[in-house]
Structure 1
Amino acid sequence: MPLEALRPSPLVEQAAQRLRDQISGGHWPVGTKLPGETTLAQTLGVGRSTVREAVRALAGAGLVRPRQGAGVFVIATEPTEDWPTRLRRAAVADVYEVRMMVEVQAARLAADRRTEADVAALRAAVEGRRTAWSGSDHAAFVDADIALHSTVVDAAHNPVLTDLFAEFVPVLRQGLIELVELLGLRDPDPPHGDARHSELVEAVINGDGETASRTLQTELEATLRELLRR
């Protein structure tokens, strides 16, 4: 597929896409050196600065790599997906399995590291979950449920765990909303899972890491089974 001059619009994006198409289409196989900036600029009908930014975008996607004094070489034919993109494409059950491993350990750590501020936040979060149950908004209840689990993770005082859990939230949120709606989980009283969530919070507050992790494992496994039945 020959290169053609570009139409006006976001030129850097167009240039990057055109070069990406050449790479993924096999015109420039892995190991090939890209034409120089001047040649690419003339072929695409753009300035050298536009080509430079487009090549930088390709490098950021893991498709090319500059070599000092030698030029820019193709190192892959498909872009490397970042972590958030991979999570968005993943099945919610797969994300949930990883969430379990992260959060169960976080609960154990939280029981050892919780502060007075964490205790207050945990009590408020479990009450917030109960309050959200009484409304008619499925999303509000799921948000309150996730907020409680986030508070447990925060109490572990490990910023990597906190950030990792936050990455899971968008995928988990939509999957859980759909699950609540599908199963009609908001019909019973008391709130779905209230006893186990209360036991989890009390175990963390009391410094009982074993009970906290076991209770959370049981709760998450039950939800995962429902997700897998969908």
Structure 2
Amino acid sequence: MSLGALRPSPLVEQATVRLREQITSGEWAVGTRLPGETTLAKSLGVGRSTVREALRALAGAGLVQARQGSGVFVIATKPKEDWSTRLRQAAIADVYEVRMLVEVEAVQLAALRRTDDDVAALHGALARRREAAHAGNAEFVEADIALHGAMVAAAHNPVLTGLFSEFVPVLQQRLLDLLEMLNLRSDDPNHGDEGHAELVNAVVRGDAEAAGRALRNELEQTLALLHSL
């Protein structure tokens, strides 16, 4: 299988794709030592720096590994899935269980660390959630997640904030599906308002235990619905 010279465009991306194809197609099996950078550069019609960057990308995908003094070897024929991909493919109940672990801890920290700006943001987010009760499901879900995001932000832990942001795309779609499937807002357009108000109030007054309990109760109710489907 000839590699073939590349067109002048994002060369690193093209080189990465071409080399990945060699591996995933079985041309280079697990344990194979890749040709040297000079050989690969000549085959692809690019510079050695482009090849080096492409090999770094393949290493990041878990396909190859550089061994000191020996070269670069194929260690897998399928790229490892990133966190976002795993979340998209996971069962929503599993996502919710992990969300509970992350977010309950976050709101407890938020109750201890919230600033005046955080308090204002929480009140504003709760008000917007209430306003969204008069809108469609998509707007309501967006406002709901924004309120939870404001609580996580009040914990002032960038790792927790980053973890929550990874959940957002999956949560947004799955919550929308859940609302529409069970028609949860037919009798109460502002579904869950009491629990969210209790949560905001607990964070604002600095009661970490009450904040954790309020959020856990809310998420457990949703999780029970998911398990009942």
1:174-222 deviations in Å (ceiling 9; x for gaps): 0011111122222223611111111111111122222211111111111
Q: Counterpart in 2 of 1:128?
A: 128
- TM-score, structure 1 normalization: 0.86
Q: Does the alignment pair 1:102 with 2:102?
A: yes
1:133-154 deviations in Å (ceiling 9; x for gaps): 012x211100110011111111
Mean Cα deviation higher: 25-34 or 103-112: 25-34
Q: Counterpart in 2 of 1:28?
A: 28
Contact 2:5–2:43, Cα closer than 8 Å, also in 1: no
Q: Does the alignment pair 1:160 with 2:159?
A: yes
Mean Cα deviation higher: 63-72 or 115-124: 63-72
Contact 1:20–1:58, Cα closer than 8 Å, also in 2: yes
Partner of 1:185: helix, strand, or coil?
coil
Mean Cα deviation higher: 187-196 or 197-206: 187-196
* Percent identity between the two aligned chains: 62
Q: Does the alignment pair 1:117 with 2:117?
A: yes
Contact 1:6–1:14, Cα closer than 8 Å, also in 2: no
* Equivalent-residue separation in structure 2 for 1:56 and 1:216 (angstroms): 42
1:1-150 matched pairs, under 5 angstroms: 2-5=1-4, 8=7, 12-44=12-44, 46-49=45-48, 50-135=50-135, 137-150=136-149
* Equivalent-residue separation in structure 2 for 1:63 and 1:56 (angstroms): 10
* Equivalent-residue separation in structure 2 for 1:18 and 1:78 (angstroms): 14
* Equivalent-residue separation in structure 2 for 1:193 and 1:8 (angstroms): 55
Q: CA deviation at 1:13?
A: 3.9
Contact 1:111–1:203, Cα closer than 8 Å, also in 2: yes
Q: Does the alignment pair 1:180 with 2:179?
A: yes
Alignment CA distance shift 1:123-1:4 (3 Å): closer
Partner of 2:66: helix, strand, or coil?
strand
Task: Give unpaired runs (5+ residues) of structure 2.
Answer: none
Alignment CA distance shift 1:177-1:76 (3 Å): same
Q: Does the alignment pair 1:169 with 2:173?
A: no
Contact 2:6–2:46, Cα closer than 8 Å, also in 1: no
* Equivalent-residue separation in structure 2 for 1:4 and 1:109 (angstroms): 54
Letter aligned with residue 141 of structure 1: F
Letter aligned with residue 98 of structure 1: V
1:53-112 deviations in Å (ceiling 9; x for gaps): 432321231211233443222222222222223222322222111111111111211222
Contact 2:66–2:72, Cα closer than 8 Å, also in 1: yes
Letter aligned with residue 148 of structure 1: L
Partner of 1:73: helix, strand, or coil?
strand
Alignment CA distance shift 1:217-1:17 (3 Å): same
* Equivalent-residue separation in structure 1 for 2:228 and 2:208 (angstroms): 30
* Equivalent-residue separation in structure 1 for 2:3 and 2:208 (angstroms): 63
Contact 2:114–2:154, Cα closer than 8 Å, also in 1: yes
Mean Cα deviation higher: 218-227 or 49-58: 49-58
1:200-211 matched pairs, under 5 angstroms: 200-211=199-210
Contact 1:3–1:18, Cα closer than 8 Å, also in 2: no
Task: Give unpaired runs (5+ residues) of structure 1.
Answer: none
